């Protein structure tokens, strides 16, 4: 069954919507988590996203574009609502503990090296995510959708209801600001 047929079936059968949920929940949750950095909050917002989608599935209009764009749009709206309710102001970055790789020597097993690489990637991700949270929400959203969710400019424009040129501009300016913050952090010796 293709996506269009599954959407049509989901309009009348909750189990079909459950299949859509199973496929898209991890992507939507990941997007929300990367913006909020809070696992429980991301779960709450993702749940709200799919509740709203389930209630509104009858109004979804198939235009040859994946329903994931619709789910991302609802998630983005839910994030915006959350930040407005919280009177969101980005927090300053907290100091991260430094993992001293120099203390490790070459005698460690391959499995330990793999764990170390995963820790490094996680620490790098956390450092970038913390810097990303300092950017205005428009920049956060386009960067997260493009680089964490790996969506096209066209899909992002549809999700955010912006022109492709606007998305490209936000992405470019957001990346410039993020790079500048990363350079400043590196100069200060902090992630």
Phi-psi region of 92 (alpha: psi -120 to 50; beta: other; left: phi over 0): beta
Q: Which domains does the chain have, with CATH numbers?
A: 1-89 (1.10.1740.10), 93-191 (1.10.10.10)
What predicted TM-score, i.e. pTM, was given to this entire model? Answer: 0.59
Residue 177: exposed, middle, or buried by beta-carbon count in 10 A (0-12, 13-18, 19+)? middle
**Per-residue model confidence (pLDDT) at position 120:** 59
C-alpha to C-alpha distance for 134 and 139, rounded to whole angstroms: 10
Q: Residue 92, exposed/middle/buried by CB under 10 A (0-12, 13-18, 19+)? A: exposed
Collapsed DSSP state (helix, strand, coil) of residue 1 = coil
Q: What is the pLDDT along the chain (191 residues), one digit of tens a residue?
A: 677 777 777 777 778 888 888 889 999 999 999 888 888 999 999 999 999 998 888 877 777 677 888 899 999 999 988 888 876 444 433 333 333 344 433 433 344 455 556 565 667 777 777 888 888 888 888 988 888 888 889 989 988 889 999 999 999 999 899 888 888 877 776 55
Whether residue 155 contacts residue 73, with contact meaning beta carbons closer than 8 Å, is answered with no
């Amino acid at each position: 069954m293709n996506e269009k047929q599954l959407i049509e079936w989901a309009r009348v059968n909750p189990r079909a919507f459950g299949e859509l949920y199973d496929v898209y929940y991890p992507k939507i949750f990941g997007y929300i988590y990367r913006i909020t950095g809070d696992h429980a909050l991301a779960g709450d917002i993702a749940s709200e996203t799919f509740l709203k989608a389930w209630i509104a599935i009858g109004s979804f209009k198939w235009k040859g574009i994946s329903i994931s764009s619709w789910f991302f749009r609802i998630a983005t709206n839910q994030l915006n609502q959350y930040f407005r309710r919280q009177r969101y102001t980005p927090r300053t970055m907290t100091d991260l503990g430094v993992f001293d790789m120099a203390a490790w020597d070459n005698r460690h097993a391959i499995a330990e090296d793999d764990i170390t690489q995963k820790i490094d990637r996680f620490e790098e991700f956390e450092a970038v995510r913390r810097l990303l949270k300092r950017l205005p929400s428009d920049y956060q959203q386009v960067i997260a959708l493009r680089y964490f969710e790996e969506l096209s400019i066209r899909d992002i424009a549809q999700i955010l209801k912006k022109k492709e040129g606007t998305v490209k501009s936000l992405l470019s300016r957001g990346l410039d600001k993020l790079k500048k913050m990363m350079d400043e952090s590196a100069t200060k010796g902090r992630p």
